[in-house]
Chain A
Amino acid sequence: MAPPLKRTRGRLASRAPFRGSPVRKRSPVTQMDERLSPPTPPRLVLQEFPVLTTFFDGEIISKSRPFLTRKWDADEDVDRKHWGKFPAFYHYSNTFNSDDFDYEELKESDFVFMRWKEHFLVPDHKIKDINGASFAGFYYICFQKSAASIEGFYYHRSSEWFQSLTLNHVPEHSVPIYEFR
């Protein structure tokens, strides 16, 4: 039998809850209550609609998934502008697109960079369009381990740029556990 998947630890593990609020330049959102544990559905609350839950896929920026996105209509310029919005990224802004960028050093830092891609609605994954809510784009994400905080910027070529979100970890007192077999 194939080996079990490794259990992850820390705040990004076991469906640890995060809470925060997005800052959007239009269509203000009253509340965003998100849970992060790739991949798990966050709940997006819109003024006009009841609660929506969507399924996200997350990729951690690493050697196999570098800073250069090369998909989802994001070119190097888009990458530079979005990653550049995170203060933690300044350290890498001159070297991030180089072939010999040191991703091992990145692993040791206090910051985890990610891309989050929304895929479908939960529970019915077949619904493709919701009026007023798009999940065609993706988020540039920066997670700070020591502060347990997440910052992100949404990108889609037809959307207004730099719609942002901020999330903070909600400590839990009683922690359940699950594990894939």
Chain B
Amino acid sequence: GGGAGLCGHSLARAPRRYYEYIFGQSWPQRSPRPLGARAGPELLELQVVIESADPGCQSFPHLDSSEAYHLTVAEPVAVLKADEVWGALRGLETFSQLVHEDDYGSFLVNESEVEDFPRFAHRGILLDTSRHYLPLKSILTNLDAMAFNKFNVFHWHIVDDQSFPYQSIFFPELSDKGAYSYNHIYTPADVHLVIEYARLRGIRVIPEFDTPGHTESWGKGQKDLLTPCYSGEEPTGSFGPVNPILNTTYEFMTKFFKEISSVFPDTYIHLGGDEVNFDCWKSNPEVREFVKKQGLGTDYAKLESYYVQKILDIVSSYNKGYIVWQEVFDNKAQLKPDTVVQVWIENNYAYELSSVTAAGLTAILAAPWYLDYISYGQDWKKYYSVEPLNFPGSEKQKKLLIGGEACLWGEFVDATNLTPRLWPRASAVGERLWSSKNVTNLQDAYQRLTDHRCRML
């Protein structure tokens, strides 16, 4: 088993970090302790024990990691037991929330026994670094906030139409030409830092390289990648989605995803596949010709699937699993059984969850949790009240819903407003994804959320 220390070096920082969280901030003492007041029983130590033979300290968290823990707080030693280090991290967070200060500045913790584990294994936050670049500091601060709320997936929507901040090793022109500026990029060192910072908090980093739509910025540094749009016989000068009919496209993707697969250690890569506008493809005579030749009829969804299929095969060849937005499923691409489908369209999302899981595919839910859609007042309540399994389906189907994500799209978000916009609203989602189905009382949640918010500050 793990025994003393927390997996030696790699996760030794966690106890130190939590020590500072718990004791580092001391509010000014309000009044001196009256003479003769009883000191009471003391807690001298929190012991952390990791039980399994392979505690997972040197490795990365993954979908099947155990995050369960058992925390016993009693005099004089509290014990935190977990199968894997990931559970220990969750337990440390809980322990830090149990410790509180009295009016005299003493730290107190109640005798407690906590047996805890997450309801859903995939509990994510999506950040968008293409609509607005987010400096490293913002991303790291957000990872801290995620850890306070037991989130375990950072879905990094790293590039999109507006900008390409990811500095690629094989294709440096992509960010050279596609980023907002040289100051608005993520170097390989930056990316590595994010991955490691996340790992130390038990957070998986799943990058999203969304294609074939949402790729305008890719075209700046990669000639002939995007489809030239036409007006009649003439190219208009503007470009559409990735060009699905050229071999060069797939040569590029093969090499590009080889890099991505090695840079990002998580088993999964998010491949996007949402909101593909067919107009540009339809306008292009070569694409039209291709569609005819391939017998795809007039249904351009079939062309989209043709493209997606090939990308999925490329990524599979690198032994990666993939997550796709729901359109890929809706448009009937042939998906491997272990594909994860992310449901994001609000209209009828319960029905979509039924369809996806009925087809035997794994699903994650984002639709009711688009936190970029701000509104006045306590909108955390509506996020909290979502019951992910409220869709028609068998027990077997329900098991295929592995979790969800709170999304903070970047159209109106940058480092100046990210933190207050995302938190503590996302905490409501965090609890919904971790806690039992019956933890639904809004008044009770309100009390705990207000305390938690002050703690996070």
Q: Do A and B come from one complex?
A: no
Point out residues on B near A: beta carbons under 8 Å: none
